[in-house]
Structure 1
Amino acid sequence: MEFQNKRLVGSTEKLSIGQSLFFGFQSVLACNLFLGPIVIIGIMQMDVSAAAALIAMTFLACGIATIIQSGFFLKYQVIQGMSFAIFGAVIAIVINADFATVFGGIMVAAIILIVLGVTGIFSIVVDKLIPGFVAGTVITIIGVALMPISWNSIIGIPGNPAINFLEAGITFIAMIVFMRLGNIRGKAGRIISVGSVIYAIALGTIVASFFGHVDLSPVGTAPWFAIPQILPFGAPKFDPNAIIVMTFILIIVMVESVGTWFTISEMSGEKLDKKRIDRGVMGEGIGCFIGAFIGGLPVTSYASNTGVLAVTKVFSRYAAIGGGIIAIAMALCPKLMYLIAIVPGSVIWGIYGYICIAIMLSGLSSIKSYPFTERNNLVLGTSILTTIGASVLPASIVQSMPPLLSYLFGSAICVGALTAIIMNLLLRQGKEDHAVLKAQKEESELEAAEEAQATV
């Protein structure tokens, strides 16, 4: 890999098969595609065989969606993985109906997303309803909404709560240590950074094995190769309420993805115009549809891959295609899927706690450049308030609501995101907001002029 860390490799530059698989494997490792499905598995307390099936379908969906997106539509080095924004809605729909209703809702919502991309309506909708500050607020509330899930899930795991918290705590601390060690300069730091989640899970699982919480027997009996069962949870069911909720969720998921695309665009120096965004929306819609059809859950472009790209400078879309091929190959290995499925819930929730923090801080980081005026503070604060409020609503109250409201309030992310959009529309910008924005713009222009002068 003679060009690694020596020059920037553009998105259209071809790689050899070996290079594509090598850089693709790095990205797949960094994205930890197994985290999304095992969190759902932990919340729903699925048995090992059902868990392995969901993991396999998710890897297969992610691999196919990655190849579609990077090869034919967005044509960036993006790895598609299960979005954490979907958790609340999926859980609410499964509790009130089943997984087949979830997949039916996703399929119709994905078709709507494709239409929004084909017609160019999506970019217009995002400009009007979800500007930068609202997008950052939505990402922030995703992190906030997911935090109570980790605590409640640790409490709800069968067994001694003290031991469960011990296992989760050790895993959480290990994750922090490995992430910090990943900041070491050089090859060692890169290796630790890319595999930090895997290392922390391995350590946590070893600790949990001492308490008898790890059963390797399903791994031993699982075959090395098998074709995953299509639609393992039955034929999709189409419920109007589930479709409405999943359509809104997929739009939120797209906000996540567009943010990642802009980051890659800035890093690579390649232009991301509205035409390319709309192509990306189409690609992601097709990926979500195919994923739902085979039994996977909605995908988004994983921001964690940008950390790898910042190090390698290899932005070639052929690396992502290689990563997609690797994800599909992993889905065809039941022994690996069962190995992932047996990771104890306490270990997963330890990792999940760190992820919640990372998502929340990512959102706050994206809005720090916006003026914290009274209006913006109200948009952010009210959104967080309603997100937390929806998170602590008793399940009996939520389930007693009409189906649409039950699905909506079952997802704290839905409630918080809707609050952010509505508050942003209702609270018009005042003189204070315009004055701060104007000052920021003038300061930015002055800095740009000074940089240009220094260059000359």
Structure 2
Amino acid sequence: MGTPVENARTKRVHPVDEVLPIPKLAIYGFQHVVAFYAAAVLVPILIASALKLPPEDLIKLITAGLFTCGIASIIQAVGIWRIGVRLPMIQGVTFTSVSPIIAIGLAHGGGALSLLHVYGAVIVAGIFTFAIAPIFIKLLRFFPPVVTGTLIMIIGMTLLPVGAGEAVTNPLTGQPEPANIRWLLYAAGTIAIIVGIQRLFRGFMATIAVLVGLVVGCAVAYVLGDMNVGKAAEADLIGFTTPFLFGLPKFDVAACVTMIIVMLITAVESTGSTMATAEIVDKRFRTADLGNVLRADGLATTIGGVFNSFPYTAFSQNIGLVRLTGVKSRWVVAAAGVIMIILGFLPKVAAVVASMPNPVLGGAALTLFATVAVVGIQALGKVDFTDHRNLIIVTTSLGLALWVTSYPDIAKAMPSGLNLVFGSGITVGAITAVLLNIVFFHVGNRGPRVAGRGSIRLDEVNAMTRQRFTEVFGHVVQDVPWAVERAFEQRPFADTAALREAFQDGVLTGSSEQLLELIRAFPDLGAEDDAGHALAVDHVALFKLDEDEHNELVELATTYRQRFGFPLVICARETEQFDQVLRNGWSRVDNPPTTEKAFALIEIAKIANYRFSDLVADANPIAAARFSPLNQLR
């Protein structure tokens, strides 16, 4: 039955779009910066060390990285035109780029001058990523839950050793000392504080648990003499890294190709990170969103090359922070971006944050990375593991990812090109999952793909149990049992057209009572669930309504239900503007009941046809091309 309009909530702002009070924005944003900071500065530290850069250049790389990370995060969270996904995703330099950047630098003699070739390649790769975004989104059908869930889980699990390594590292010497109980107590104490706050407090205190854990851990370490603040004393109070600090970029073909490969790999990682974030914040992930993500990555990477930084992607520990705290607002990330930009002008303040003891940071990182892994496991809960192919995809991808993570020197045994792939467990796991999914579900003569983002073929549909058929196709007919069963009984289907026709017959040939049941199964326009999410969302015209528009829609739906006793059903995909939906609805209020019932069934048939097209378009390349205008509206 449809949800009564009387119970519909009038608040239309999704938690992702909620603008919090400035004090909360500042505190939550600072918490993101603290969680992100050490990992962000680690990339320039590794690169500077390998290329033998002097300490003053390292400080400039760190401040430049903070400045551009802030810009990149704002672009991704706030969005400009079709650039930026508008989700709470902190952007940082991807670790995938570290080894290739070092290789490019060493190939050109090392030192500061070698960075000119690095930045030339970074700029070209950024422009390339921006340009290929429309093409890459067409590959989304190759990322069903078995792939994305595996990728998200691998991201969390392969990063756990990073947190574990930090947790046993001497903060004064930088050397790992796993047998030193002092460092273990710092890490365990930080975790205990985070868990304790989550258990004992609610509301605001619970959301800043990670920040409190880090602050308390640092305070204890400082009192005990285990926090080295010497670098902060040496750093300048104010400074800024100017564009092209080391000179104008140089464009080497081999270096550019190498960095383009890095960005393609990063695009796969960005897909998993974006889907993980969308899953956490309960925001619908549309096909076009991935293109917006990649455009932002490409633009940010290009800016990074200009401002002496490197390629960008979403930072996984901050995704975990969103999940752990429950603070979903993208404006918190925008606030964090502003803080990072300010830190980019304050080398001394940045150096203080950089002096955070490794074991304290490692304890918090263990919690955050594990949280990301759990998100992946939850996504895999949607996968049918009675199908051995899905099991093989997950186990093989996870096994290879952990193999490379455990023994990173494997990359040295690989020829040029492949060593880039085997330099990261995340990359190996992601590519393995995608390739195995293609091999098992997109290659072979097992009938055309008809649903499940390419994982379900026609012969499998014909062999489905009633329950499985309902799980896959029930949404087409609003999960009304008799309509699904009517389509199910028409098996076997000769082709996709026959399957589509079965659903059309199902929604038009029921008894009078059944057809009324089908109409009443649709939600009222304007109705929302307990979390405030709109239930009737078959078209963009019903997304992001302001308060007045929502009230107008509720008034129309209420009047209509009082007049006819069933909800107003409109195939909103055939309208371009919200006003058209209103005009259509009000024009039908004066119809006779029998006429209006017929109108409703026609609209339902249209909705079912579009929903079926979505299933096909997600899975079938030909259908994807045919229905591409619909995909842009999803």
What TM bracket, shorter-length normalisation?
Answer: 0.7 to 0.9
Moved more, 91-100 or 343-352: 91-100
CA distance in 2, matches of 1:149, 1:12: 29
1:49-80 Cα offsets, whole Å, 9 max, x none, are 66644442232112212333314134735343
Q: List runs of 5+ in structure 1 lacking aligned partners.
A: 1-5
Residue type of the alignment partner of 2:88? V
SS in 2 for 1:243: helix
Moved more, 18-27 or 30-39: 18-27
Moved more, 70-79 or 157-166: 157-166
Equivalent of 2:358, from 319, 325, 345?
345
Tell me which residue corresponds to 1:112.
Answer: 128
Equivalent of 2:98, from 90, 93, 108?
90
SS in 2 for 1:214: coil
Q: Report 1:246-265 matches (<5 A).
A: 246-259=262-275, 262-263=278-279
Residue type of the alignment partner of 2:32? A
CA contact (8 A) 2:404 2:423 kept: yes
Residue type of the alignment partner of 2:227? V
CA distance in 2, matches of 1:166, 1:305: 26
Tell me which residue corresponds to 1:64.
Answer: 71
User: Alignment RMSD, CA only?
Assistant: 4.2
User: Is 1:80 matched up with 2:111?
Assistant: no
1:176-231 Cα offsets, whole Å, 9 max, x none, are 531452355544xx23423x333333333344446644222332343332213546
CA contact (8 A) 2:168 2:178 kept: no
Q: Report 1:444-455 matches (<5 A).
A: 452=521
CA distance in 2, matches of 1:454, 1:277: 29
Report the CA distance shift for 1:445/1:126 in structure 2 as closer, same or farther (over 3 A). Answer: closer
Tell me which residue corresponds to 1:121.
Answer: 135
Moved more, 413-422 or 73-82: 73-82
Report the CA distance shift for 1:277/1:87 in structure 2 as closer, same or farther (over 3 A). Answer: closer
Moved more, 157-166 or 283-292: 157-166
Q: Report 1:214-363 matches (<5 A).
A: 214-230=227-243, 238=252, 239-240=255-256, 242-259=258-275, 262-263=278-279, 266-267=282-283, 273-297=286-310, 298-300=312-314, 303-304=319-320, 306-307=322-323, 311=327, 321-363=334-376
CA contact (8 A) 2:97 2:262 kept: yes
Q: Which has the higher helix share?
A: 1
Q: Report 1:39-188 matches (<5 A).
A: 39-40=42-43, 52-69=59-76, 70-72=78-80, 73-74=83-84, 76=86, 78-82=88-92, 86-91=94-99, 93-94=101-102, 97=105, 100=115, 103-117=119-133, 120-127=134-141, 129-151=142-164, 158=173, 161-162=177-178, 166-182=182-198, 184=200, 186-187=202-203
CA contact (8 A) 1:57 1:228 kept: yes
SS in 1 for 2:417: helix
CA distance in 2, matches of 1:261, 1:364: 14
Moved more, 212-221 or 358-367: 212-221
Report the CA distance shift for 1:220/1:89 in structure 2 as closer, same or farther (over 3 A). Answer: closer
Residue type of the alignment partner of 2:313? V
In the TM superposition, residue 383 of structure 1 has moved relative to its aligned partner by 0.3
CA contact (8 A) 1:20 1:321 kept: no
Tell me which residue corresponds to 2:28.
Answer: 26
TM-score, normalised relative to structure 2:
0.58
User: Is 1:366 matched up with 2:386?
Assistant: no
Moved more, 436-445 or 352-361: 436-445
CA distance in 1, matches of 2:335, 2:97: 32
Report the CA distance shift for 1:389/1:62 in structure 2 as closer, same or farther (over 3 A). Answer: same
Report the CA distance shift for 1:245/1:359 in structure 2 as closer, same or farther (over 3 A). Answer: farther
Residue type of the alignment partner of 1:124? K
1:301-325 Cα offsets, whole Å, 9 max, x none, are 75357559955x766x6x6544433
Tell me which residue corresponds to 1:37.
Answer: 40
CA contact (8 A) 2:243 2:308 kept: yes
Q: List runs of 5+ in structure 2 lacking aligned partners.
A: 1-9, 107-113, 442-454, 482-519, 525-565, 567-634
Report the CA distance shift for 1:260/1:135 in structure 2 as closer, same or farther (over 3 A). Answer: closer
Equivalent of 2:212, from 199, 202, 205?
199
CA distance in 2, matches of 1:354, 1:401: 33
In the TM superposition, residue 262 of structure 1 has moved relative to its aligned partner by 3.4
* Higher RCO, 1 vs 2 (CA within 8 Å, ≥6 residues apart): 1
CA contact (8 A) 2:63 2:240 kept: no
1:84-111 Cα offsets, whole Å, 9 max, x none, are xx32552465368459466555433322
In the TM superposition, residue 290 of structure 1 has moved relative to its aligned partner by 1.1
Equivalent of 1:377, from 378, 391, 398?
391
Tell me which residue corresponds to 1:3.
Answer: none
TM-score, normalised relative to structure 1:
0.77
CA contact (8 A) 1:24 1:320 kept: no
Moved more, 436-445 or 65-74: 436-445
Larger Rg: 2
Report the CA distance shift for 1:349/1:104 in structure 2 as closer, same or farther (over 3 A). Answer: farther
Aligned length: 434
SS in 1 for 2:309: coil
Moved more, 178-187 or 380-389: 178-187
In the TM superposition, residue 420 of structure 1 has moved relative to its aligned partner by 0.7
In the TM superposition, residue 29 of structure 1 has moved relative to its aligned partner by 2.3
CA distance in 2, matches of 1:358, 1:145: 12
